Amino acid sequence: ISPQLVGMGLLDLIPEADIIAAADPDDNNQDGISGRVHWVQDGKQRRIGRFGWKAINSSLRTQNANAMSQDMGLTTSVFMDPNCTANQPICWTAPNGVTPEVSDSSLDAVTDFMAALAVPERRVADLSTFNKGAQLFTQVGCASCHTPKQKMGASGRFPLLAQQTIYPYTDLLLHDMGKGLDDGVKEKNAESYEWRTPPLWGIGIVARDQEARFLHDGRASSLTEAILWHGGEAESTKTRFRQLPTTQQQTLLSFLNGI
């Protein structure tokens, strides 16, 4: 399913050094969490992937160009090759017009629009309950990957955002999520069982929709189901959530609905 679009411009401004510093691929601190950076090639540069379910795109502009290519079959200066599979030889040899179907100015306009999509305000009905939920979020281990707080770096295009603190609840790292979420598809250097930690801000608004679906393929129909599908590095966190009394589970879910 398509990911949330809010706040993507802010995620684009998190310094690479901060993402690298949070990685612990060999679990040196022995907390059971071994998030790793997904290094990807962006033109001639090697950069950190931060967008897409498996963090395959390093910038919001590249993410948009990739969506235009893979979802709509439109070429850009970023992805000039047609979206053809190995089993479509005619597709590869078909006329393509040589020039990109989406101009750089149009791609930049879409990227500017996406960068400006604001994160919704927190929805806190009861501050005491919200704070207790935040404590449980950390206590059971959710915050080990869904890092609550990040700080944005310098930005020539958005100078007022420099050094601002944001609360996306993600580390933008790849994690082993276990056999249950292994979709059998590798993307770039990401294994089939690895997924980027998705940001949680605004997830409560999504959850209000009775038709809402969660996780990469929409298999979960509620936040509780999404939690219970966690495995791999998150297995112990899932177990701790399940062991909470029902009232505390609801307090944690109430917190998620408010961020």
List, for residues 170-229, the tens digit of each pLDDT value.
999 999 999 999 999 999 999 999 999 999 999 999 888 878 899 999 999 999 999 999
Q: How far apart (Å, rounded) are the C-alpha atoms in residues 23 and 127?
A: 32
Strands 165-166 and 150-151: antiparallel
Summary mean pLDDT of the chain: 95
Contact 136, 252 (CB under 8 A): yes
Residue 226: enclosing H or E segment and its boundaries? helix 223-228
List, for residues 31-71, the tens digit of each pLDDT value.
Answer: 999 999 999 999 889 999 999 999 999 999 999 999 999 99
Kindly indicate the confidence band of residue 96, based on its pLDDT and cuts at 50, 70 and 90.
confident
CA distances from 210 to 220, 223, 258 (A): 12, 12, 17
Secondary structure of residue 258 in the 3-state scheme: helix
Secondary structure of residue 170 in the 3-state scheme: coil
Counting Cα atoms < 13 Å in the Cβ hemisphere of 137 gives 23
Contact 18, 172 (CB under 8 A): no
Residue 127: enclosing H or E segment and its boundaries? helix 127-140
Q: How far apart (Å, rounded) are the C-alpha atoms in residues 240 and 187?
A: 31
Kindly state the percentage of the chain with pLDDT values over 90: 85
Smallest CA-to-CA distance from 124 within 164, 167, 77, 163 is with 167
Beta-carbon contacts of residue 54 (< 8 Å; ≥ 6 apart): 38, 174, 187, 188, 190, 194, 195, 196
Lookup: tokens for 119: 């994160």
The count of other CB atoms within 10 Å of the CB of residue 185 is: 11
Mean pLDDT for the stretch of residues 13-28: 97
Beta-carbon contacts of residue 14 (< 8 Å; ≥ 6 apart): 50, 150, 151, 152, 153, 172
Residue 122 DSSP code: P
Q: How far apart (Å, rounded) are the C-alpha atoms in residues 175 and 25?
A: 9
